[in-house]
Amino acid sequence: MKLWGVSDDGTIKFVSLTPRHLEGALEVLRKGFYPYESVCIAVKLAQYPQAVADLDQLMTRVSEDGVSIVAIESDTEKVVGVAFNKLQVKNTSGDKSFFEKHAELCTHPSSQRLITFMVEADATCDLFEYCHVDCILELTFLATHPEYRRRGIARKLTEITLELARCLAKGENVRQSMDETELCLESVPGIVSALFTSPTSQKIGRALGWEIAKKISYENFVYEGKSFACILGKDRTDTTLEYKRL
């Protein structure tokens, strides 16, 4: 388990995600992401245990890439924040993407719609072509436990995600296996990307020098016959597809 950093007050440590902390990381999503994140609200994800289970399965598969980061309270070992990160390689075969395949495995319409939103939003700008790269490290879900907000945890997780990606880009294999299988360093990322769906994450993007490739309106996405914009109301910010070169 690689230690990436410690909070200024020493109470929170930031480490690579291991099997020991996977359930805690999933619990952070259940408590701090699904009930509050805009698209999750639009598709009512937190209301449906089966939809949450679908997302747990997806994030477990994402974790197998060995590039996710967790924030852990030093005294209690409680997971209080997570960046679930995925290595994406340019598709030259025409096969369905990782997320497209997982959408087909979903057992609930809510989770399926969330994942298809991610696919559709990513498709608004092909970052492989836009940035001339063959591999992207995607910050898929970024979350902080509600009791630990306003302590800079999400920003630190984002900073460390960039640091991890830079290590990979330099040829340093810092991937953390989830099952003791050796993870090879094959394609290395040229950028880090994310769909930032809240003012908080977008503020982190501005502070860390991320670039906006596309602004994505919720008017263009529908669930149960209503647009996301209608469901969420006027106070919700649009999603931004953003990236940071390494």
190-207 pLDDT, tens per residue?
999 999 999 999 999 999
Whether 34 has a pLDDT exceeding 90, the answer reads yes
Confidence of residue 210 (pLDDT cuts 50, 70, 90): very high
**Structure-block tokens of residue 65:** 């890439």
The mean per-residue pLDDT over the stretch 165-187 comes to 95
Torsional sign, CA 67, 70, 75, 77 = negative
- Residue type present at position 163: E
pLDDT at residue number 94: 81
Total Cβ atoms within 10 A of residue 207:
11
**What local confidence, expressed as pLDDT, does residue 1 receive?**
82
pLDDT in tens, 118-129: 999 999 999 999
pLDDT exceeds 80 at position 64: yes
Task: Identify the pLDDT of residue 162.
Answer: 98
For residue 24, CA distances in Å to 18, 27, 48, 156 come to: 10, 5, 20, 18
Q: What is the band of 97 on the pLDDT scale with cuts at 50, 70, 90?
A: very high
DSSP for residue 76? T
Average pLDDT value for residue range 158-184: 96
- Please report the pLDDT score of residue 231 as a whole number: 95
Q: What is the pLDDT of residue 8?
A: 93
Going by C-alpha positions, the residue among 198, 195, 235 that lies closest to residue 214 is: 195
Q: What tokens does 246 get?
A: 């390494």
The pTM score is: 0.97
pLDDT of 144 above 80: yes
Structure-block tokens of residue 82: 């997570």
Beta-strand runs (E) in the chain: 3-6, 12-16, 69-73, 79-89, 135-144, 191-196, 211-216, 222-223, 226-227, 239-245
**What mean pLDDT is reported for the chain?**
96
Of the candidates 187, 188, 182, 201, the residue with the CA atom closest to the CA atom of residue 240: 201
User: What's the CATH superfamily of 3-245?
Assistant: Gcn5-related N-acetyltransferase (GNAT) (3.40.630.30)
Q: From CA 231, how far away is CA 155, in angstroms rounded? A: 28
Instruction: Write the pLDDT tens digit of every residue in 213-241.
Output: 999 999 999 999 999 999 999 778 899 99
* Residue 234, pLDDT score: 78
**Dihedral angle computed from the Cα positions of residues 93, 98, 101 and 106, in that order, rounded to the nearest 10 degrees:** -170
**Cβ atoms 87, 189 nearer than 8 A:** yes
Determine the 3-state secondary structure of 222 from DSSP.
strand
Q: Report how far apart the first and last C-alpha atoms of the chain are (Å, whole number).
A: 24
Query: Rounded to whole angstroms, how far apart are CA atoms 59 and 34?
Result: 13
pLDDT at 180 over 90: no
Region 122-138: what's the mean pLDDT? 97
Give the model's pLDDT for residue 146.
98
- Phi and psi at 28, nearest 5°, equal -60, -40
